[in-house]
Structure 1
């Protein structure tokens, strides 16, 4: 069965609560720190944010803005000495089935390569057509990719990319780091969702499809009932443009749907790091992160 088979719309919408906790302990006093957080879910056509809150300790005044890529950013700085930092981001969202199930998507699914090329030539999606350090492919892989997608339309190409990556690579936590490129992960045939997404973006762009990185969360249980809670983690997948944005989750070989929560977009991971900052003090620190997801309805 195609990963793009529409989800059962009788499932309606899910309501999911997310609690993302980050704790940093420094080996000595930190005199100042400056931080950016990308942990607040977005409002999209398939998702509605019902509530969100970010709390930090020591207490600090926070501000919010939307960055160039459309991601909601919470920023704050601490000017008093401190030896630890805690960040608790909580939210409740309602999610919908995959957009492939939307009634008005049928026409968009027929987008031709020529129509996509026209949009690329216009420059409107230029940021999502080039290569970056994390999404660059080897010449040999680009050649093999062209052979695999040569006889299909845009959506067929995307589906083949998703299935190929899922079959070829193994999900191995700890096998890679945040600085690992998709090419390195592909050569080792192992990695985490970030790596699956980077190689997918590289392949989609090489195939002629504008593609972007999506950061968010995934409710890990395929079958659940309201009231079920589980430990989770940040998740990533890719979207490509073919008349509209469509998602592929190569880690799980599915089209994103009810279990996926969107937090932000970018060219690659570097544009949507959940917590990014600098501080003045001891160079050594210990980081602990936990994510809990609860299906409320």
Structure 2
């Protein structure tokens, strides 16, 4: 499957901004059944300086310096990717979760794909006893890692209500868990914290999800969205497998990876600092179009 992706981020400021420095993580990753065919970013006003580097996790991070005074900042990212994923069935054979946990703790590599870097708590996905106990219900002794992770994903989808007004990025995980509501990044953080509380390696994934209009209705421009899900290390043979707790889906060819990290703080598509405005309005429009 080949997709054309357009991701437009627009900031409108109450007063003029004299300086801005942004970090952009908008180039889709290569690997995990995903190939990057092309990518470009247009920025208005034009930056005075643009530099890029690969972070520890392999994400291309572009640093942008804007010195032109402005009231609006527009970042227009366009990509084409090819996907050829074959996720395993939920009930496919896989190691016991206790064996995966033990092997992960014995890992000697400290590279970005090593499971050991994703076992421990992170700032936005702390290990909390109630969340660990919630996850443990999906992992009785001897349970296979795939079926246990799929069951936890299903339970989060059923037990938590999607509500974009319920949380903001700074809402603590404890509050999300107690209220049982939030958005995709909250559900991903809950699943991460639960798995890590059991000693299982899990990574946060940001990207895009292709959405389909109801039968007989036209597709709306900007109707697709940035999305978040979880990648679980399932042993040396299976490696990293994607689970989408917001939709109770095994990650296949409708999920496009932008970045991978420990939690949202590692993978935010756009962040930075500005000088000169007290209030701002953010709008994001995403289109994910299959190439015929």
State the TM-score, normalized to the length of structure 2: 0.87
* d(CA) in 1 for partners of 2:196, 2:282: 34
Q: Which of 10, 17, 24 is residue 30 of structure 1 equivalent to? A: 17
Q: Which has the higher helix share?
A: 1
Say which SS state the counterpart of residue 251 (structure 2) adopts.
coil
Match of 2:230 in 1: 238
Structure 1 pair 24/150, CA: closer, same or farther in 2 (3 Å)? same
Q: Return the offset for 1:107.
A: 10
- Say whether 1:118 aligns with 2:106: no
Write out aligned runs for 1:187-202 (5 A). 187-202=178-193
How do 1:37-116 and structure 2 match up within 5 A?
A: 37-60=24-47, 61-100=49-88, 109-110=94-95, 113-116=98-101
- Distance (whole Å) between structure 2 residues aligned to residue 107 and residue 65 of structure 1: 38
SS of residue paired to 2:249:
coil
Q: Counterpart of 1:132 in 2: which secondary structure?
A: coil
Indicate if the aligned counterparts of 1:38 and 1:273 stay in contact, CA closer than 8 A: yes
Once residues 122 and 284 of structure 1 are traced to their aligned partners in structure 2, the CA distance between those partners, rounded to angstroms, is 47
Which residue of the partner structure matches residue 125 of structure 2?
Answer: 135
Q: CA deviation at 1:141?
A: 3.5
Tell me by how many angstroms 1:137 deviates: 4.6
> In the TM superposition, what is the alpha-carbon distance from 1:132 to its structure 2 partner?
2.4
Contact conserved, 1:135 with 1:183, CA < 8 A, in 2? no
The aligned counterpart of 1:206 is 197
Counterpart check, 1:250 vs 2:245? yes
Structure 1 residues 189 and 32: CA distance shift in structure 2, 3 A? same
Give the deviation of 1:176 after TM superposition.
Answer: 1.0
Q: CA deviation at 1:242?
A: 1.6
Q: Over the residues paired in the alignment, what is the CA RMSD in angstroms?
A: 2.4
Structure 2 residue 136 is the aligned partner of structure 1 residue 146: yes
Q: How many residues align?
A: 278
Q: SS at 1:288's partner residue?
A: strand
Contact 1:39 1:274 in 2 (8 A): yes
Q: Judging changes above 3 Å, is the alpha-carbon distance between structure 1 residues 147 and 261 closer, same or farther for their aligned structure 2 residues? A: closer
The aligned residue for residue 8 of structure 1 is none
TM-superposed CA distance for 1:292, in Å, is: 1.4
The 1:27/1:115 distance shift into structure 2, 3 A limit, reads closer
Quick check: 1:229–1:295 contact (8 Å CA) kept in 2?
no
